[in-house]
């Protein structure tokens, strides 16, 4: 049997003003290729994800939380994708997934949200460092150094390697999540939650480079195998 990976969808409007829910196609393709089933978790509010400012999203009601809980009860793991902002829906999903001890993998914005877990949101722009490789998604853009005393090092077996990069913001240290990876120019690139359950955030996109990069494949495959252990 295949594990079920819950992935939040985004609510927006198409060019002809039709309401849509969307997921990056790399995410769908990679997780299906890697042997997982995807459970798309829709937002609980009809709020335009792209046009609404991050601090203008409505807070969740008790019924909203029950809806998210029902989706989580069907999941063996949670993938937190990239994006432009996170919502109360996303933050509650992370909080409850941690409490339920589900394996979690967050990338780019997903990692940035994890870095704000139980703390104020602190995400900064750094004009002096360019970590956005643009539209060419077939390359690895810069190097990352990993702490040898980390789950990520255990998975990859290398201390330094190259990653893709599509972000223009960076995070500050979190008192709960441990920083385990830095770019060679000093930005936080990987964090881990201190538990036996797989709970890792990375600033790059292994779901995009899965098909041509061994390290990306190792991360995704390991996450899915951990989700398999969580199957009833």
- Of 147, 210, 221, residue with least CA distance to 177: 147
Q: By mean pLDDT, which of 90-94, 132-136, 184-188 is the weakest?
A: 132-136
Enter the tokens of residue 92. 């509650």
Q: Is 148 left (phi over 0), alpha (psi -120 to 50) or beta?
A: alpha
User: What phi and psi, each to the nearest 5 degrees, are found at residue 125?
Assistant: -95, 145
| C-alpha–C-alpha distance, residues 126 and 190, integer Å | 17
> How many H-runs (helices) and E-runs (strands) does the chain carry?
7, 15
End-to-end CA distance of the chain: 11
Check residue 75 and give its pLDDT.
97
- Write down the pTM of the prediction: 0.92
Could you give the percent of the chain with pLDDT greater than 70? 92
Sorting pLDDT into bands at 50, 70 and 90, what band is 134?
low
CATH assignment at residue 199: 3.40.50.880
Rg over alpha carbons for the chain, rounded to the nearest Å, is 17
For the chain, the average pLDDT equals 89
List all residues 6 or more positions away from 118 whose beta carbon is below 8 Å from its beta carbon. Answer: 176
For residue 96, pLDDT beyond 80: yes
Q: How many domains does the chain have?
A: 1
| C-alpha–C-alpha distance, residues 229 and 232, integer Å | 8
Tell me the residue range of the domain where 31 lies.
4-229
């Amino acid at each position: 049997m295949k594990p079920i990976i819950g992935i939040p969808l985004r609510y927006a409007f198409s060019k002809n003003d039709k309401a849509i829910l969307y997921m990056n196609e790399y995410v769908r393709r990679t997780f299906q290729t890697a042997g997982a089933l995807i459970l798309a978790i829709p937002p609980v509010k009809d709020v335009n994800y792209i046009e609404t400012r991050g601090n203008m999203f409505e807070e969740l009601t008790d019924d909203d939380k029950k809806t998210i809980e029902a989706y989580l009860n069907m999941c063996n793991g949670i993938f937190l994708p990239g994006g432009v902002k996170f919502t109360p829906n996303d933050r509650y999903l992370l909080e409850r997934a941690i409490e339920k001890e589900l394996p979690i993998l967050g990338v780019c914005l997903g990692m940035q949200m994890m870095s704000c877990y139980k703390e104020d949101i602190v995400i900064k722009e750094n004009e002096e460092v360019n970590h956005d490789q643009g539209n060419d998604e077939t390359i690895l853009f810069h190097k990352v150094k990993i702490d040898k005393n980390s789950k990520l090092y255990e998975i990859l077996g290398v201390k330094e390697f190259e990653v893709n990069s599509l972000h223009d913001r960076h995070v500050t240290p979190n008192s709960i999540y441990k920083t385990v990876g830095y770019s060679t120019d000093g930005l936080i690139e990987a964090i881990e939650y201190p538990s036996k359950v797989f709970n890792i955030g990375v600033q790059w996109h292994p779901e995009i480079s899965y098909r041509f990069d061994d390290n990306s494949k190792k991360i995704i495959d390991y996450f899915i195998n951990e989700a398999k252990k969580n199957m009833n």
